[in-house]
Each structure stands twice: as C-alpha cells, then as structure tokens.
Amino acid sequence: MRARQQSCPHLWRLRVAKAKRARAGLLLDPQPNARTYQPASQGFEVKLKQSFDPSAGGADVFPQDIRRALLNLIANGFYAATRRRETYGGDNEPTLTASTKNLGDRVEVRIRDNGTGMTPDVKEKMFNPFFTTKPTGEGTGLGLSISHDIIVKQHAGSIEVDTQLGEFTEIRIILPRTAVFV
Ligand SMILES: Nc1ncnc2c1ncn2[C@@H]1O[C@H](COP(=O)(O)OP(=O)(O)O)[C@@H](O)[C@H]1O
Ligand SMILES: [Mg+2]
C-alpha cells in the first residue's frame, strides 16, 4: 500500500510530461488520404467521411491514449455499419463519419455510423467492462470501458451517445483544450 502511494505521483508526473498539444483532426486522421477502410481479413468496405472544422485547433492530450480511445469507437462503428444490412435490410452504404468542432475552450469530436444502432438496454450497459453483444472471439467488451477511462478520467473530457436502433450511432466526445492535471 505504502509503495503504491509513493510510486503514483512519480508515474503521474511522467504521464503529464508526455501530454502534448495535438490537432484534433490529426488524432482522427493518421492517414489523411484513406477514403475507405477494408480490414485485411474481411471482404467488406466502409466509406469514410470527414467533416473537420478548420478552426478546431488542438487540445492537450496523451496522443497515443486518445488515439486508442478513438480507434475503439471507430472499430465499433465499422462493425455496426457492416452488420446493419444483414440484420435490418435496406441498401445503405456502410458509412462512418468523423467530425471535429471548435467549442472555444473545448474541442468536440464525433464518430457516427449508419449501423445497427442500439436498444436502450444495450446503450445503458455499453460502457461496462466485459459487456459485449458480439460472438465469442469477436468482442471482449473492453473497448468502451477503456475509451471511457481515457476520455473522462485521464483527460477530464466527456462522452455521450446518441443512437437509434436500425439507424445510427453517434458518439460525441468533448475534450478540454487545456489539460487540468491536479
Ligand atoms: N457503434 C456502435 N453501434 C452499435 N452498438 C455498439 C456500438 N458501439 C458499441 N456498441 C455496443 O456496445 C458493446 C460494447 O462495446 P465495446 O466495449 O467496444 O466491446 P466489444 O466491441 O468488444 O463488444 C458492443 O458489443 C455493442 O453491443
Ligand atoms: Mg469494441
């Protein structure tokens, strides 16, 4: 217990030292020219749309961690978008939209898919560790709980979900522009 208490501030300082100002668009767009995404092992494509606010600017973040958090959301979006047709029919092209917005002292990032959407019950549980609706081997149920911790606990941001079953899911993240590490 004692050792733990002593090592924590040190670890925290190390992490704070790693925080960098990163442009919101760049966090979402490591490959700016990619317009479609095709996982190597699977025969489907998802269309990518970007709507970046040119004035979105940057935020103090741990880029690696935030990227991981966003990637988890993007992976879920791809999954839902490619499964909508087989469950709900229709001929919508599977599409994922990433957008940024300048909110003054905060930056907004949205990830939206036109996928399966969620029931109210799933929406309520989605951030719980190990909660998954995916078959064994396809989901661990950890992606969103990790993303939540990174965004809310590590960066003092917020994460909200808007979804409609059979229609869409939109995840809205808000990050403070300036890190408040206390
Ligand atoms: N974009 C989305 N569209 C529909 N359902 C989603 C979406 N994102 C998350 N979910 C639901 O939340 C659950 C938990 O997500 P997550 O924590 O990433 O775990 P996993 O992806 O391993 O199942 C998913 O199994 C799914 O039911
Ligand atoms: Mg996931």
Ion ligand 2: protein residues whose beta carbon lies under 5 Å: 76, 143
Q: Which residues does the chain have with pLDDT short of 70?
A: 1-19, 29-44, 180-182
Task: Report pLDDT digits (tens) over 68-115.
Answer: 999 999 999 999 998 887 787 777 889 999 999 999 999 999 999 999
How much is the pLDDT for 85? 79
Instruction: Please tell me the pTM assigned to this model.
Output: 0.85
Residue 34: what pLDDT? Answer: 54
Boundaries of every domain in the chain: 21-176
Burial 75-95 (b: 16+ CB within 10 A, else e): ebbbbbbbebbeeeeeeeebb
pLDDT on residue 89: 75
CB 122 near ligand 1, within 6 Å: yes
CA nearest to 77, candidates 131, 126, 26: 126
CATH class of the region 21-176: alpha beta
Q: Which of 72, 74, 76, 122 to mutate to test the pocket of ligand 1 (most atoms within 8 A of CB)?
A: 76
